[in-house]
Structure 1
Amino acid sequence: MRRLPAVPGIITAEQVLRTAESIAAVQEDDGGVPWPEGHVDAWNHVECLMAMTVAGLRDEARRGYEWLARHQRPDGSWPMKMAGGEPVEAGGESNHAAYVAVGVWHDLLVTGDEDFARAMWPVVSRALDFVVGLQTTRGEILWERAASGEPASYALLTGSSSIHQGLRCGVLLAERLGDPQPDWELAADRLGHVLVAHPEAFADKSRFSMDWYYPVLGGAVRGPRAAQRLDLEWDVFVVPGLGVRCVSDQPWVTGAESCELVLALDAAGRRERALAVYADMQHLRHEDGSYWTGWQFVNRRHFPHERSAYTAAAVVLAADALARATPGSGVFRDATAQEVRVTGDCGCERAHA
């Protein structure tokens, strides 16, 4: 029997279910879960499937995984954007591919359905091989491979942090299914080290709040380092009573970023702060259970004027993490970094410390 998450004083189990149902309501006939403007990307799609799984909407989630299997390309990637079942932007993002491993591992944790995990294993395996193929000698993972086959010239901190979680989940899934993947584990170790020790490896996107909390959310930064990182820019990005800014230089809080920070705080053991941020962002809730994407607090208007499935998904996943309701509630909390291993490729003093 499913147990829906509830966070006392903030959100009820019935409200969580209605939020998950708002995701199912926009799911397309072919199983894709689109952005408000109509395109589907694999990362946000997987996030939505995870939320529906938490809420027990298993058939809807499985249709979404069928969409992933159907649209995966031979190299293991998905088009960056798809609409009407056709590519709109054909490049393949590494973090999109990696997140499929998080989704399938999460499904196994929640449902216990190993047969389904085995059916999805070839999809996960191809996806993570695509990801590892974009790792540099130093250890960061380039953000994209263009449709021409050319890799991007740089890596993104947020994307690589999410990839770190994907690789860790892929390793766990591989072990559970009896097909160990030591190359993925090594890739995760190398990536974790770069995320901790080499900020210069990534393009400067520091105005985005995701670059602040994602190294914690993805599991590369934990313990005292996580606390220090989250404290460092708390006043830059957190707006008391409203939530988390998307970018530091605009008066704009967004629901998805707020809930992802909740997940990062929960993973770092800062439950009281996590609860406070989660309560603050509930002003974005619509009466039908969906959530507005954001709020421009100078103009006092929803911006953009849309309610997005990926925001609803983040709300559900944050509720589960806080409530410890399902066996998958720790999928972010447990993406813990392993001790850095010296590979010989980096050789910096921090790698040997």
Structure 2
Amino acid sequence: MTLPRRTGRLERLTLPGVLTTEQAARTVAGIAAVQRPDGAIPWFRGHHLDPWDHVEAAMALDTAGEHECAEAAYRWLADHQNPDGSWYAAYHDGDAARPTDRGKETNFCAYLAVGVLHHYLTTGDEVFRERMWPVVADAVEFVLELQQEGGEIGWKREPDGTPLTEALLTGSSSVYQALRCALALAELQDAPQPDWELAAGALGHAIRSHPERFADKSRYSMDWYYPVLAGAVRGPAALARLDERWDEFVVPGLGVRCVTPNPWVTGGESAELALALWAVGDRERAARILSWIGHLRADDGLYWTGYVFADKAVWPEELTAWTAGAVLLAVAALNGDEPTCAVFGGAELPRGLEPDCCRP
């Protein structure tokens, strides 16, 4: 995989109508202020940390050049990985000694691969990549233990070790992106992983061609756009998918609903849809959605999680590091930040080996 050229910092996070340089700097500082001295990044101080959102915030810090903060976040994961390659679903205030949900969610554990590749492409730090490779490899092996015969990924292992075989389209799509990033890391490590290639191919095929293999969560906007965001569906099919339910989920001037028919738009879903639109070449609509969610921005640079427009009320009253992180990553992609484009655009990421399942 080609190592992108590393260019500017805050200028990559400036977008007319969305963020000025000063606003971007304040958002970066807001995320950094949430981070604990040990590297953990909870949703906000006093709330919980989950591994997926922790990585999302770390990637945002890297886009701004805060590489030491991002590396500390990945070090936290390396230091607190469970023996089976997993992490717990939630830790109180990011305290590794205080897990509040001992379930182990597959997409939470897989997402480390996206963050590690992003950090490496941002910094070129070979020592970091070498140190994190076994952490990523163990996490991937944990996740693939829950892959089902149809390619889909069971979403969770219960605290007692019981695997839940039900697959979620959003979670499996996120795992697909992570597997492709893990395969890219394997290439850099010169450590071929043929089983991962088969797993990624089967998973991508299931997402594209077999909706019946996933639980019906079609009321949630993430199930609508995540196959596009994660790279499983691209090209004309991706644009058709996004157009098909646009009017159901998009509230002009406000953002993207989390779930229909609830009158609630969220910053995270809006920023992720913007990333999905960018990934399929629709930069205009992506920038427009990012401009709409300025109403969720707080004075400290962070973003409110959501807004109930029927009541004209912010809800819940929480400023989350991961929402701010998603906004920064979307802006970075729209501005051509090469590491961010690499992991979300996916043009050079391995695709795995697709099965013969539906071929004549």
TM range (shorter): over 0.9
Count of matched residue positions in the alignment of Structure 1 and Structure 2? 347
The answer for the alignment partner of 1:23 in structure 2 is: 31
- The DSSP-based 3-state class of the residue aligned with 1:88 is strand
Give the root-mean-square deviation of aligned CA atoms. Answer: 1.6
Contact in 2 for aligned 1:99/1:166 (Cα 8 Å): yes
Cα distance in 2 for partners of 1:248, 1:197 equals 24
- Identify if the C-alpha distance between structure 1 residues 339 and 66 changes in structure 2 by more than 3 Å, giving closer, same or farther: closer
3-state SS, counterpart of residue 91 of structure 2: strand
Distance 1:15 1:182 in 2: 45
What is the distance in 2 between the residues matched to 1:79 and 1:292? 25
Distance (whole Å) between structure 2 residues aligned to residue 283 and residue 125 of structure 1: 41
| C-alpha contact 2:329 2:340 (8 A) present in aligned 1 | no
1:79 to 56, 74, 88: 88
1:163-312 alignment runs, 5 A limit: 163-312=175-324
CA displacement at 1:329 relative to structure 2: 3.1
**Cα distance per residue 1:71-101 (max 9 Å; x no partner):** 1101110011112322211111100111000
**CA deviation digits over 1:100-121, x for unaligned, max 9?**
0000000011111121011111
Aligned identity (percent) is 53
Structure 2 counterpart of 1:3 = 9
How many angstroms does 1:339 deviate by?
8.2
Matched residue type, 2:314: H
Contact 2:197 2:351 in 1 (8 A): no
Q: Following TM superposition, by how much is the alpha carbon of 1:326 offset from its aligned partner in structure 2, in angstroms?
A: 4.3
Equivalent residue, structure 1, for 2:354: 341
The answer to whether the 8 Å contact 1:140/1:194 transfers is: yes
Check if 1:58 corresponds to 2:67. yes
Q: What's the secondary structure of 1:134's corresponding residue?
A: coil
Contact 1:3 1:326 in 2 (8 A): no
Give 1:352's aligned amino acid.
R
Structure 2 CA distance for aligned equivalents of residues 333 and 12 of structure 1? 24
Using structure 2 for the length normalisation, give the TM-score: 0.93
How far residue 46 of structure 1 moved from its aligned partner, in angstroms, is 0.4
**Kept in 2: contact 1:220–1:337 (CA 8 A):** no
Q: Distance in 2 between matches of 1:92 and 1:19?
A: 30
Q: Which moved more, 1:117-126 or 1:10-19?
A: 10-19
Is 1:134 equivalent to 2:135 in the alignment?
no
Tell me which of 37, 43, 50 is aligned to 1:35.
43
Tell me, yes or no, if the aligned pair for 2:198 and 2:353 is still in contact at 8 Å. Answer: no
Counterpart residue number, 2:104 = 92
**Structure 1 CA distance, aligned partners of 2:194 and 2:15?**
38
Identify which range, 204-213 or 77-86, moves more after superposition: 77-86
Kept in 2, the 8 Å contact 1:107–1:328? The answer is no
Give the letter aligned to residue 327 of structure 2: V
SS at match of 1:78: coil
CA distance in structure 1 between the partners assigned to 2:119 and 2:170 by the alignment: 23
Report the equivalent of 2:331. 319
Is the contact between residue 297 and residue 304 of structure 2 (CA under 8 Å) also seen in structure 1? Answer: yes
Following superposition, the deviation at residue 13 of structure 1 comes to 2.9
- Aligned-partner SS, 2:48: coil
Q: Distance in 1 between matches of 2:163 and 2:280?
A: 34
Q: Secondary structure at the match of 1:143?
A: strand
Question: Does the CA contact (< 8 Å) of 1:221 and 1:337 recur in 2?
Answer: no
Unaligned runs of 5+ in 1: none
In 1, are the aligned partners of 2:202 and 2:354 still within 8 Å (CA)? Answer: yes
Q: Tell me the CA shift for residue 340 of structure 1.
A: 6.5
**How far apart are the structure 1 equivalents of 2:139 and 2:235?**
30
Separation of aligned partners in 2, 1:198 and 1:224: 18
TM-score between the two structures when normalised by the length of structure 1: 0.95
Work out the CA distance in 1 between the residues paired with 2:64 and 2:25: 6
Question: Contact (CA 8 Å) 1:295, 1:302: kept in 2 or not?
Answer: yes
- Whichever residue aligns with residue 15 of structure 2, its letter is V
Q: 1:229 to 1:309 in 2, by over 3 A?
A: same
Asked if the contact 2:39/2:72 (under 8 Å) is kept, the reply is: yes
- In 2, the alpha carbon distance for the partners of 1:255 and 1:227 equals 22
Paired residues of 2:226 and 2:276 also in contact (CA < 8 A): yes
